[in-house]
Structures are given as structure tokens and as C-alpha cells.
Amino acid sequence: MATHRGECFCGAVKLEVSGDPEGMGYCHCRSCRSWSGGPVNAFALWKADAVRITEGAEHIGTFAKTPMSERQYCKKCGGHLMANHPPLGLVDVFAATLPTLKHQAGLHVNYAETVLPMRDGLPKFKDFPAEFGGSGDMLAD
Ligand SMILES: [Zn+2]
Ligand SMILES: [Zn+2]
């Protein structure tokens, strides 16, 4: 079973994920943009029990603007780690947190809010797929 290790910007927090992600893609929402400082968030969704903090759990801070996303970061360096999505039972350990993970995007979500259109032929969801509580509406590539 594949294991990927990641850490925060300063290295105080270390984590690992095992197995394969449940899904990968890009989120174009305003919240991800505002929090990350980047135009999109490359996400990789894992079952909660596939994610393990191996060092520095005491340095992890959490901020939840909405109940959907508990955004987790290192309190020492401010580096971003992951976002827990309790309603989905999934954790987005950001692709950027896991250098050895080959990020193979399967879809785009919250594309209605994009500032960086990506014409890559992948499905573009206006918000989220229906199985993730969204409208399931699609937008043109
Ligand atoms: Zn740190
Ligand atoms: Zn987002």
C-alpha cells in the first residue's frame, strides 16, 4: 500500500497518508483562494482513517469558517496542511502537502467561482457533484 509523507512549511508538523485518495481535482472556490493565497486548490480527498499525524500534532491549528471545512495549519509557521470535511467523512490533504503524490485531477469543483479557467477537458462542476451535496450542475469546459 502506498504511503505518502508530508509536512508543514517549517517541518514541525509531519503526517502521512496511506492507500489511494478517494478523489483528486481542483477547487476554484473563493474560500480556498482567500485562505491559500493561490488561484486554485489542488485537492486530494482521503478517508479520515487513512491520515495520520506522525509528529507535532500539538502545533496544529484549526479554523472553520463553515461547518463544511475545518482548515488545518501549523501554528508555528502558518503553513497549510489539510482541510477536514466532516459532512463528507473525508479529509483533503492538499496535493501541495504531499510531494510524492502524483496529482491526477479527475474533476473541477466550484468552477462558477473560477479566476483561472483550465480548458483541460475534465468535468467542470458549478459547485459540487450531487453525491457530495452539490447541485451536480456542469459548466462548459
Ligand atoms: Zn510549521
Ligand atoms: Zn474550495
Mean pLDDT within 41-48: 97
Q: Give me ligand 2 centre to Cα 53, in Å.
A: 23
Q: How far is the CA of 135 from the centre of ligand 1 (A)?
A: 36
The pLDDT value given to residue 107: 97
Residue 11 CA to ligand 2 center (angstroms) comes to 25
Q: What are the Cα distances from residue 25, in Å, to 14, 53, 106, 124? A: 23, 23, 5, 10
Model pLDDT for residues 82-141, shown as the tens digit of each residue: 999 999 999 999 999 999 999 999 999 999 999 999 999 999 999 999 988 899 999 998
Of all ligands present, the nearest one to the C-alpha of 10 is 1
- pLDDT interval class at 48 (50, 70, 90): very high
